[in-house]
Amino acid sequence: MADIFSFAIPFLFMFAVVFGALEIAAIFPNKKVNTLIALVFALFGVSYAPATEFINQVLPFAMIFFIIFFFIGFVVKVAKSGLKTKEEKYDYTLLMIIVGLVLLFFATQGPQAIAWLMPGFEQQGNNILIIAGIVFVLVVFLAAYKMPKEG
């Protein structure tokens, strides 16, 4: 069973990365061609033992990166969909709420969240919180600057 996972998970990871890159790049408009190319790359990658070992070692860190990356993408998409009003002006209230909730999460969880999300940066916890606070203040200033003027 362990042998199946030691080859299946790197295969799926390589397939997903290559297929996603081909879809985003839109080199070939046909999805069947993208699937075939991704399948060949994944099969070649799995057949090379050092590549499989490397992916098995790097995959936990890549997974954390992709989870954070997709979460940020989701938040940005939700914020963009909620920012437009009927007059096609942007309302930054939702963005300020999201940034404030992220800052509140870091402030309440503190070093535990930083140690879990960014291994190796445990000693820099206060600096990261200061940077997060500065980003929050900058978002508030941006929202205040971009708010439509009344009267």
pLDDT in tens, the chain (151 residues): 557 777 888 888 889 888 988 888 888 888 899 899 999 999 988 888 888 888 888 888 887 787 777 777 777 776 666 555 555 556 666 666 777 777 777 667 666 766 676 666 656 556 666 777 777 777 777 766 766 655 4
pLDDT of amino acid 74: 74
Dihedral sign from CA coordinates of 101, 107, 111, 114 = positive
How many of the other CB atoms lie within 10 Å of CB of 135? Answer: 13
Question: Which of 3, 7, 44, 36 shows the shortest CA–CA distance to 19?
Answer: 36
pLDDT of amino acid 40: 92
69-81 residue pLDDT tens: 777 777 777 666 6
pLDDT of amino acid 151: 47
Read off the pTM.
0.48
* Cα-based distances in Å from 64 to 12, 50, 67, 69, 139: 17, 22, 5, 8, 26
The residue count of the chain comes to: 151
How many of the other CB atoms lie within 10 Å of CB of 149? Answer: 4
